[in-house]
Amino acid sequence: MSESNPIENRIKSLEQHLETENPVLVDVVRSFKALDLVSRQMGFFSKEQSHTFSVPWWPLISVLGVYSSGKSTFINRHLDYKLQDTGNQAVDNKFTVICFSDEDRVRQLPGLALDADPRFPLYRITEAIDEATPGEGRRIDAYLQLKTCPSEKLRGNIIIDSPGFDADAQRTATLRITNHIIDLSDLVLVFFDARHPESGSMSDTLETLVKGTIHRDDSSKFLYILNQIDMTAREDNPEQVFAAWQRALAQKGMTAGQCYTIYDTEVGMPIEDEGLRERFLRKRNEDVAGIQARIEEVRVTRAYRILGMLGQRAGVLEKEALPRVQAFLESWRRRVCWLDGIFFGLSLACFLGVTLWAGYWKGFSLQLPYLSTIMANPWGKWSLAAFLAAWVVYVHLRIRGFAGKQAMQKILGGMDEKEGHENYIRAFTKNTRWWRSIFRRKPSGWGRRNMARLAKVTADANGYVQKLNDVYANPAGKTPEETAPMEDSCST
């Protein structure tokens, strides 16, 4: 692959990785490339953009929550590796992206390693940081770091450990990164501290990480974990702590399950009462097993989510982007026609008024000074015609540009910024280039070929789902030996 085409090089590297991780997804990458082609021809994407870069291909688990709620201890226990520093106070104020490495050691790499590599989540996160807090993108190393770890439980997965959450103290850029991570994640573990279930940091977490997510389409990916529940064992009724926590969740609208109580048996507080210890341990083991089961499902759910994103992106292009471009073209065309009519109509009226007032009309004959001399000279005639044509074209082009900005503001004003204003501006601009007629109703880049491409991507997305179902599901309950004879008998 040519070094002059870094986009293709990156996509090729991704395909090579997926060939060993999940071969079905290699074909999905090619379908995303077909969407890239349609998006570029319609003007939505620049040459540096690709749908593949906005899709996190690695299963991603994010760990969020309040300070000293045991997030790092949980990660270390899950990995069977002492990777993250632990303590009662905040020990790290960065988002730590943790991935597998064959090296028998831990490496700590700067945030640039994440921002510049499309294979990782948080690719080009500096742009989102700059949008939230201008100028902060250049300080990416103050927000992010990458850690490599040889734990086999990380192979093929990525974990993001967040700094302790305190919304009042969070910078805007940090909140933007948090929301971005939530959007990318396949599983979100939200930790609370059972020792301080009513603290201010818990309220901040409830407000931002619970209330803000309960109405999401993917709200089922959130697990709410009350950690260090063993610290309540000496209280008269530890269940009241759990009940109070659940009421706090319910007050923010979280009424479904997905609630767990756990503690670390090695660093936890000794529970002297044997019966109470067994009750705590039994509940803890059940919940840890439930969390572990959800973690193990991530790789499967990630594949299905990617396929859903493929169909969704194709649908957005055809059912949202295309109608908006068409609405823009209609609004732009109407404005240009009205403004052209008004300007040239007024210009003609002014010309007639001035020449009538000056007495240059003899009946229906216009006799301007020097006009007969100019018209008698062939070069003069053509020069006058060229001047008038150039003036008309110049004025029309200025009107087109003005009308385009007005129509653009109208369409973008009714959109959320998350829908990609820059992409729409690029598409609108491509459709108003000076050589395109205002009477062309079909948007640039939209024709039978691209319609067929989108239809194929949608059909392929359904086909990929069936392939995954063949791997992970068997509704008929038949064994391969039972399936083969049926196929033979149908062919005879």
Which of the four pLDDT bands, split at 50, 70 and 90, describes residue 328?
very high
| 97 inside domain | yes
Would you give the DSSP letter of residue 165? B
Residue-wise pLDDT for 188-239, tens only, equals 998 888 776 554 555 656 666 676 666 677 778 889 898 888 777 666 566 7
Q: Please report the pLDDT score of residue 492 as a whole number.
A: 27
Q: How many distinct structural domains can be found in the chain?
A: 1
**Cα within 13 Å of Cα(327), Cβ side:** 13
| 384 inside domain | no
Q: Please report the pLDDT score of residue 85 as a whole number.
A: 77
| 129 inside domain | yes
Residue-wise pLDDT for 365-379, tens only, equals 877 777 777 777 778
Q: Please report the pLDDT score of residue 2 as a whole number.
A: 44
CATH number reported for the structural domain that contains residue 144 in this entry? 3.40.50.300
139 or 325, which is more confident? 325
| 274 inside domain | yes
| 182 inside domain | yes
Q: Please report the pLDDT score of residue 489 as a whole number.
A: 35
251 or 359, which is more confident? 359
User: Is the separation of the CB atoms in 38 and 445 below 8 Å?
Assistant: yes
| 172 inside domain | yes
Distance CA 479, CA 481 (A): 5
Over range 260-273, report the average pLDDT. Answer: 79
Q: Please report the pLDDT score of residue 155 as a whole number.
A: 84
| 221 inside domain | yes
> In this predicted structure, which of 16-20, 95-99, 310-314, 458-462 has the lowest mean pLDDT?
16-20
| 407 inside domain | no
3-state secondary structure at position 83: coil
* Residues spanned by the domain of 278: 56-296
Q: How many CB atoms lie within 10 A of CB 317?
A: 21
Residue-wise pLDDT for 89-127, tens only, equals 545 678 899 998 888 899 999 888 888 776 677 777 787
Give yes or no for residue 63 having a pLDDT over 90: yes
Residue-wise pLDDT for 175-195, tens only, equals 778 888 888 889 999 888 877
Over range 413-428, report the average pLDDT. Answer: 85
What is the enclosing helix (H) or strand (E) of 330? helix 322-358
Burial 266-296 (b: 16+ CB within 10 A, else e): eebeebeeeeeeeebeebbeebbeebeebbe
